[in-house]
Amino acid sequence: MIVTPDDVFKVDNVPVREKAYHVLKEAIIKNKLNTNNELREQELADLMGISRTPVREAMRKLEADGLIYRNKSNRPFITKLSYENASNIYKVRSKLEGLAAGQAAENISNSDIEELESFMEKASEYINKGDIDKFDEVGRLFHETILYYSTNEVCSNIINKLADHINRYRWISMTKDEKRPGQALKEHFEIVQHMKNRDMKSADEAMVKHILNAGDLILESLSEIF
């Protein structure tokens, strides 16, 4: 299950530091904080209605994740996006997730297929409602589930280490072009159809195409900046 900031703050038994971590991470992923501004603990604490201590702990975790860095004066900033980084991440991601999709096609059961189809139905509903946040959450879950069905732990571990950085760039592709969510959903349907047919090669190729299409949109956007 994907945990969103709103969901986190509704859970009473989750420590405040974990809530702060999830909220700040989502804010970074969805580009809701200015990357040019220093991250100030007190300002962030005030925004979330909590004390500075959990914010400080959350920022340390985000620094370990590579989403925050410190400048020469030891002041914290959000790690900047870059064209080269995006290009490399999406080349690697396409190969790994393509492999995972192919292996999932070999392992997947009919009930597993139904689960993926239920995600796509929800995604379609969110597109019709114009709710890109929810669409993005279901999209993440779709990809995570295929990784799980691949039973390839090595592939999953590598992707998981890159996940936060991937999701920052994924968000660009979802918001850059209003047609992209619908196109992405069509590509998801194509991937699942190949899985239904137990066609490993075509599932692999469809996933690679899907990831690279998103990557091209991201690179187009970044080329306007860098």
The predicted pLDDT at position 1 comes to 28
Q: Is 121 found in the same domain as 215?
A: yes
The predicted pLDDT at position 5 comes to 45
In angstroms, the CA 18 to CA 157 distance is 22
CATH code, 39 = 1.10.10.10
Q: What is the percent of the chain where pLDDT is above 90?
A: 75
The predicted pLDDT at position 8 comes to 42
* Stretch 56-79: mean pLDDT: 95
Q: Is 100 found in the same domain as 127?
A: yes
Q: Is 191 found in the same domain as 129?
A: yes
CATH code, 162 = 1.20.120.530
Q: Is 93 found in the same domain as 199?
A: yes
Q: Which residues contact 126 (CB under 8 A, 6 or more apart)?
A: 132, 134, 135, 138
156 vs 4, higher pLDDT: 156
* Stretch 125-139: mean pLDDT: 93
The predicted pLDDT at position 225 comes to 65
Q: Which domain holds residue 119?
A: 83-223
Q: Is 110 found in the same domain as 71?
A: no
pLDDT single digits (tens) 146-180: 999 999 999 999 999 999 999 898 888 777 778 89
* Stretch 76-80: mean pLDDT: 95
* Stretch 25-33: mean pLDDT: 91
Total tally of structural domains belonging to the chain? 2
Q: Is 114 found in the same domain as 199?
A: yes
The predicted pLDDT at position 106 comes to 95
Q: Which residues contact 179 (CB under 8 A, 6 or more apart)?
A: none
Can you name the residues that pair with 68 across neighbouring β-strands?
A: 78
Count of Cβ atoms closer than 10 Å to residue 126 Cβ = 19
Q: Is 171 found in the same domain as 116?
A: yes
Q: What is the percent of the chain where pLDDT is above 70?
A: 93
